[in-house]
Amino acid sequence: MAYYIGVDIGGTNLKAGVVDDSGAILGEASVPTGADRPQDVVLQDILRAVRMSVEAAKIDPHEITAAGVGSPGVIDSVNGIVTYNNNLGWKNFAIGPKMSETLGVPVVLENDADAAALGEVVAGCAKGAKSAMIITLGTGVGSGFVIDEKIFRGCEFGHMVIAYGGRKCTCGRHGCFEAYCSATGLINMTKEAITEHPNSTLSEIAKREGVVSGHTVFAAADEQDPIAINIINEYTGYLACGLANLINGLQPEVIGVGGGIGKQGERLLVPLREKVIAEVYEGIKPKCAKIVSCTLGYKAGLIGAAMAAR
Amino acid sequence: MAYYIGVDIGGTNLKAGVVDDSGAILGEASVPTGADRPQDVVLQDILRAVRMSVEAAKIDPHEITAAGVGSPGVIDSVNGIVTYNNNLGWKNFAIGPKMSETLGVPVVLENDADAAALGEVVAGCAKGAKSAMIITLGTGVGSGFVIDEKIFRGCEFGHMVIAYGGRKCTCGRHGCFEAYCSATGLINMTKEAITEHPNSTLSEIAKREGVVSGHTVFAAADEQDPIAINIINEYTGYLACGLANLINGLQPEVIGVGGGIGKQGERLLVPLREKVIAEVYEGIKPKCAKIVSCTLGYKAGLIGAAMAAR
């Protein structure tokens, strides 16, 4: 049996795990990532998490044949270097070569969204799919594209403009998919509606919860609030537009929807699928991507990083 | 030396050619395609064009190792069947197996835009590129994506919405890349401006030429007509939006711009490149795709079909 180390670097915690050929996690560990620390100190923490995960997995360390790391930021996969990560304060952090030196196995470095997409293809919602696009609806909109269980590196459709001259995006463009379909985008729509309709059920729920989240509008829709139903209708319209673009453009077999908003599951997917099929190009309709919820949650990145090393 | 047959099926003519390993055409022939004819009659004409091209190339037919066909319509590349072609009146036309039976060599069938893209990568504007996107600005907007000299099948970004709720497209969606950036889209913008400004230089040129084409607005801009300059500015804005989406999303090394509008060359590309770089995601700017004009014209499809068989 061959085992692989997977490391998923998050903004708050970094996780390491031992994964087998099927994508099952045999042991895992987590330590704080800690922003703005010397890179060698971070490296020691990564290696510590790896050791802890190997202990937890109760395997012989010699059976580990390779390791993979998923990291946010600008990634140079060829050389195993995180070129730039603004949030963590990293610049030219050679994680790959340095980990490889200590562990004595090859180490591959991938973008974290790409790694998570591979995880969902090997062991999650897109298991067995020849090609899959994983769309993460969180603070931003992430995208990962996997063909024949291989990552298509650098797939970044969050900054695809779907509404020319529309909402300003953090990237500087106007009308990006992310500006409308991220959790942030949905929260903005919700806040605007609350200001406009202060006496709606939606406003009441927001007041009761004390904060507007991506969930607020779905909770109000559950209580049949027409304002909330309208927002979900508008939101799924934009989301369907972006997904139909990707289906027309790349014809993935499966689209997995993840991230905070993805957790709404069928409440989101039922209206979404209906709108997507109406938008897809006629000749592609019969082979239109299956749209499903991601199933691995935070484990996707860890499993995918390990599977990238497989 | 190995030789390959390439066949490019157009709406008016079908062309066959003998192509060598480098993508050079050694001999070619053309016959009318003829819509709404029995498929076996069309097949005989394809084979006749192939024989003529082999004679023109003056090679020994036994040195031909494979053949490739580029066809418009819905293509089943796995089985070599044109599933559906509305313009030619074809349904389940098994071109691949039937040609293979007569020629005695393997035959591959590809979408015509895909074949043309491969042609430009092997022997044209994107020669040597690791990945290239070829965008054809004609009656519609075609797209072909080639990675490592292999066609990424089914890439159809003409029907990517860039302006949510915008201009109606022939596909039924609103705001497609094609609705704005095809020659048809540019002609529509030009006609609208002529109606609005009947005394402009643009209107005069259109009257003089007797027809509004994709070239009209460029001719008027050459004479410093501010109306025409505005249209080109607007048009290249939409075109830059679509290309920036593809660069952010897929990071091709080269984008080749072809079709009727592509023939404007640097008159189009100079303002286009400036707008594209402003729209591209910050981390991608340093490796932003090189934007060039396609160089093979009608030969791209023929060469690419042959190279798909290589």
| pLDDT tens column, A277-296 | 999 998 889 999 999 999 99
**Rounded CA separation B237/B26 (Å):** 41
Which residues of chain B are within 8 Å of residue A152 when distances are taken between CB atoms?
A: 250
Classify B34 in phi/psi space as left (phi over 0), alpha (psi -120 to 50) or beta: left
Instruction: Give the pLDDT of chain B (310 residues) as one tens digit per residue.
Output: 799 999 999 989 999 999 999 999 999 999 999 989 999 999 999 999 999 999 999 999 999 999 999 999 889 999 999 998 888 999 999 999 999 999 999 999 999 999 999 999 999 999 999 999 999 999 899 999 999 999 999 888 999 999 999 999 999 999 999 999 999 999 999 999 999 999 999 999 999 999 999 999 999 999 999 999 999 999 999 999 999 999 999 999 999 999 999 999 999 999 999 999 999 998 889 999 999 999 999 999 999 999 999 9
Q: pLDDT value at position B44?
A: 97
What integer pLDDT is reported at residue A50 of this predicted model? Answer: 98
Token pair of B223 as six digits: 């004479």
Say if the Cβ atoms of B156 and A281 lie within 8 Å: yes
Q: Which of A135, A131, A129 is nearest to A151 (CA)?
A: A131
Rounded-to-integer distance, Cα B89 and Cα B67, Å:
24
Q: Which of B300, B272, B302 is closest to B288 using CA atoms? A: B272
Please list, residue by residue across B220-257, b when 16 or more beta carbons sit within 10 angstroms of its beta carbon and e when fewer do.
bbeeebebbebbbeebbbbbbbbbbbbbbbbbbbbbbb
CA dist A218 to A206, A212, A222, A253, B235, Å?
11, 11, 6, 28, 40
A47 has a chain B CB within 8 A of its CB: no
Q: Is A277 on the interface with B (CB under 8 A)?
A: no
Helix, coil or strand: residue A208: helix
Reported as a single tens digit per residue, the pLDDT across A84-108 is 888 899 999 999 999 999 999 999 9
> Cβ A241–B161 below 8 Å, yes or no?
yes
Give yes or no for a contact between B113 and B120, defined as CB atoms under 8 angstroms apart: no
Task: Report DSSP letters for B103-157, one per residue.
Answer: HSS-EEEEEHHHHHHHHHHHHSTTTT-SEEEEEEESSSEEEEEEETTEEETT--G
Rounded to a whole number of angstroms, the distance from the CA of B227 to the nearest CA of chain A is 21
| Bridge partners of residue B125, in order along the sequence | none
A43: pLDDT strictly greater than 90: yes
Using an 8 Å CB-CB cutoff, list chain B residues near A143: 249
CB A111 within 8 A of CB A145: no
Q: Please report the sign of the dihedral spanned by the C-alpha atoms of residue A217, residue A221, residue A226, residue A231.
A: positive
The number of angstroms, rounded, from the C-alpha of B7 to the middle of its chain's C-alpha atoms is 15
Q: Does A52 touch chain B (CB under 8 A)?
A: no
Return the number of CB contacts < 8 Å for A and B: 85
Main-chain phi, psi angles of B298, to 5 degrees: -65, -20
**Closest to A239 measured CA to CA, from A219, A262, A218, A223:** A262
pLDDT in tens, A230-278: 999 999 999 999 999 999 999 999 999 999 999 999 999 999 999 999 9
Contact A281 B171 (CB under 8 A): yes
Task: Show the 3-state SS of A80-111.
Answer: CEEEEECCCCEEEECHHHHHHHHHCCCEEEEE
Q: What is the pTM of this model?
A: 0.93
Determine the straight-line distance between the first and last CA of chain A, rounded to whole angstroms. 12
Alpha helices of chain A — where are they, by DSSP H?
Answer: 39-57, 95-103, 112-123, 177-181, 183-196, 201-209, 216-222, 226-250, 259-262, 266-279, 299-309
Residue B39 has a pLDDT of 95
The SS3 call for residue A307 is helix
Tokens of B211: 């027809």
Radius of gyration (C-alpha) of chain B in whole angstroms: 20
What amino acid is encoded at B259 in this protein?
G
Q: Do B277 and B284 meet the contact criterion of CB atoms below 8 Å apart?
A: no
What pLDDT does A1 receive? Answer: 78
Tell me the chain B residues in contact with residue A154 when contact means C-beta distances shorter than 8 Å. 250-251, 284
User: Scanning the structure block, which residue is given the tokens 């942030």?
Assistant: A184
CA-to-CA dists, residue A134 to A126, A147, A221, A309, angstroms: 9, 12, 26, 19
Residue B276 in tokens: 């594209």
Query: Chain B contacts of A156, Cβ < 8 Å?
Result: 248-249, 251, 281, 284
Instruction: Name the token pair of B10.
Output: 């157009």
Contact A253, A289 (CB under 8 A): yes
CA separation for the pair A158, A176 (Å, rounded)? 7
Q: What is the DSSP letter of B303?
A: H
Contact check, Cβ <8 Å, B161/A251 = no
B80 membership: H or E segment, kind and range: none
Contact flag B282-A143 (C-beta cutoff 8 Å): no
Of the candidates B263, B262, B266, the residue with the CA atom closest to the CA atom of residue B142:
B262
Tell me the chain B residues in contact with residue A171 when contact means C-beta distances shorter than 8 Å: 281-282
pLDDT at B142: 92
- The CA-CA-CA angle for residues B217, B220, B223, to 5°, reads 155
- CA dist A207 and A32 (Å) reads 33
Query: SS3 of A45, please?
Result: helix
Tokens of A137: 């609806």
The alpha carbon torsion through A4, A18, A108, A140 (nearest 10 deg) reads 140
Residues of A in contact with B143 (CB under 8 A): 249
Res A154 pLDDT > 90? no
Q: Which residues pair with A151 in a beta bridge?
A: A146
Tokens 């069938």 correspond to what residue?
A: B109
Q: How far is CA A176 from CA A246, A275, B143, in A?
A: 14, 19, 21
- For chain B, give the longest Cα–Cα distance: 64
